[in-house]
Amino acid sequence: MVGPDGAQRLIANGTIEVAPLAFMRGRTLNDAFIILDEAQNTTPEQMKMFLTRIGFNSKAVVTGDVTQVDLNGKHSGLLHIEKILWNVDDISFVHLTSKDVVRHRIVADIVAAYEQSQP
């Protein structure tokens, strides 16, 4: 939205911070808009750690595609949070489908085929 130069400027002046999930422990994120992207491969413990960093006057968005979980036998934190947080006030879940794909048309067809093949 701001272009490469604008993004670099916002990072340089500290308006935007990009940080690995591993560096969240011990922090409180006040007055922030926090995005955890590609969260399908977080563990439940990592997800809890992230969610408990949310401070005052902050909002958090967690994104991920549960069809892309590849944790080799471990449970996905993204799948886990909906099971335990579905009834917490001010938390919402949005599920996208093949109709929401904004890539090449064939990608929507591929996603739809996978959705139909699920038990």
Residue 111 domain-assigned (yes or no): no
Q: What is the largest CA-CA distance in the chain?
A: 49
CA angle, 114 then 116 then 117, to 5°: 65
Tell me the pLDDT tens digit for each residue of 59-83.
Answer: 999 999 888 888 887 789 999 998 9
CATH code for position 74:
3.40.50.300
**What is the pLDDT, as a whole number, of residue 9?**
94
Tell me the pLDDT tens digit for each residue of 79-102.
Answer: 999 899 999 999 999 998 777 877
Domain that holds residue 66: 3-91
Q: What total number of domains does the chain contain?
A: 1
Checking if the pLDDT of 16 tops 80, the result is: yes
**What is the pLDDT, as a whole number, of residue 98?**
75
Residues linked to residue 59 through DSSP beta bridges, in sequence order: 33
CA–CA distance, 56 with 64 (Å, rounded to integer):
24
Tell me the pLDDT tens digit for each residue of 33-58.
Answer: 999 999 999 999 999 999 999 999 99
